[in-house]
Amino acid sequence: MILLAVVLTLGICVWRFSTVLGGRGSKAVGDGENVATYGFDLSTCLIPRDRIVAAGMPKDGLPALVNPPTMPARQVDILNDEMRGKFLVSSDRVVGLHLDGVSRAYPVRMLNWHEVVNDTIGNVPVAVTYNPLCDSAVAFNRRVGGETLTFGVSGLLYNSNLLMYDRRPDPADESLWSQLQCRAVAGPSAAAGDSLTVLHTSLVRWADWQVLHPETEVLAPDPALMDRYKREPYGSYYGSDQLRFPVDPLPPADGLPRKTPVVVVGAGGRQRVFSLATIATNADTSGTWRTVVGNVPVRFTVRSDPLTAWVEPEDPGHSVQTVYCFWFAWYATHPGATLE
């Protein structure tokens, strides 16, 4: 255990040092209020320009991670002992991916402070993204048009949702990408019509992910940010239906609450949007519900406290793509969407 801790600490130090060396300078870009100060080319904007807003922070105000260290699941217990159970407990949510035989978990309490993780799982370069304002979790393949992109946090929002940007040697060549539209929305990549391939993720409790993938790795925390990781900065926000930034259009007022958690499942060329409450209502006593998406039979498993659900194709030969978010966020970025 001591050797494991030493190796983990050395790995984190190397990662932090390389992050500093690879930084984009100390001068902040973007004043937190005026979109024009962020320097992005909006001449090719595919979304309403006047609905892009500054999030109150500069570009890279939240540090996206690049090739961060990971640790085995057993190291979590050691950290919990050191932090008196504050790092990652059984009911905490994680974004889980399983690719090329490798399983990896990204704790939401860490993603709150980074929002974008550029990683590689097996042979697949991935961007694991999470936006607390929309409770939206999406993972993408970072290969686009023959190149592998690295994403940062732009400091801008569209419909209260994360706008990422692709890092380039010349900032004038950078593009903005919408997390929930899964495509470039401004800049050269928008002009080229580039989009991102959505991967199959699970936004689930840590205890459930461990059962599903006992061999899982876990995103290792930055020791310098431990105090932040222990905080719950969005507790009051999730407890109300109020939004912090402009959103238009909003779902019909006579429907479900704006912050109803949903999962969007794509399979067989089709998409269906399910509220987690609907999944729980339809589930049997074991928490399982079966349905069909695009002629692909899928199986949901739902858990409570907190309410979470994951989905798998019944036939391993099929694949599914998943997006988790609040209902208002999906409706605003996909007007007219229907909810099941």
pLDDT in tens, 120-160: 999 999 999 999 999 999 999 999 999 999 999 999 999 99
Cα separation of 68 and 192, whole Å? 30
**What integer pLDDT is reported at residue 143 of this predicted model?**
98
Residue 1 has pLDDT above 60, yes or no: no
How many percent of the chain have pLDDT more than 70? 92
Cα separation of 148 and 125, whole Å? 7
Q: How many domains does the chain have?
A: 2
Q: Do 156 and 16 belong together in one domain?
A: yes
For residue 282, being part of any structural domain is answered with yes
Q: Do 67 and 146 belong together in one domain?
A: yes
Q: Do 189 and 281 belong together in one domain?
A: no
Last residue of a domain, one of 177, 198, 219: 198
What domain range is 297 assigned to?
250-340
Q: Three-state DSSP class for 168?
A: coil
Cα separation of 130 and 100, whole Å? 22
For residue 85, being part of any structural domain is answered with yes
**What integer pLDDT is reported at residue 27 of this predicted model?**
81
For residue 238, being part of any structural domain is answered with no
Residue 57 has pLDDT above 70, yes or no: yes
Q: How confident is the model at residue 82 (pLDDT cuts 50, 70, 90)?
A: confident
CA angle 240, 241, 245 (to 5 degrees): 110
Q: Do 259 and 141 belong together in one domain?
A: no
Q: Do 16 and 122 belong together in one domain?
A: yes
Cα separation of 147 and 209, whole Å? 31
Q: Do 155 and 17 belong together in one domain?
A: yes
For residue 190, being part of any structural domain is answered with yes
Residue 185 has pLDDT above 90, yes or no: yes
Q: Do 263 and 194 belong together in one domain?
A: no
Q: Do 8 and 83 belong together in one domain?
A: yes
Last residue of a domain, one of 164, 182, 198: 198
Q: Do 171 and 256 belong together in one domain?
A: no
For residue 209, being part of any structural domain is answered with no
**What integer pLDDT is reported at residue 15 of this predicted model?**
44
For residue 243, being part of any structural domain is answered with no
For residue 231, being part of any structural domain is answered with no
In this structure, the number of other CB atoms found within 10 A of the CB of residue 147 comes to: 8
Q: How confident is the model at residue 26 (pLDDT cuts 50, 70, 90)?
A: low
**What integer pLDDT is reported at residue 8 of this predicted model?**
44
Cβ distance 278 to 177 under 8 Å? no
Q: Do 287 and 192 belong together in one domain?
A: no
For residue 16, being part of any structural domain is answered with yes
Supply the DSSP string of 12-36, one letter for each residue.
Answer: HHHHHHHHHHT---SS----SS-GG
Q: Do 170 and 260 belong together in one domain?
A: no
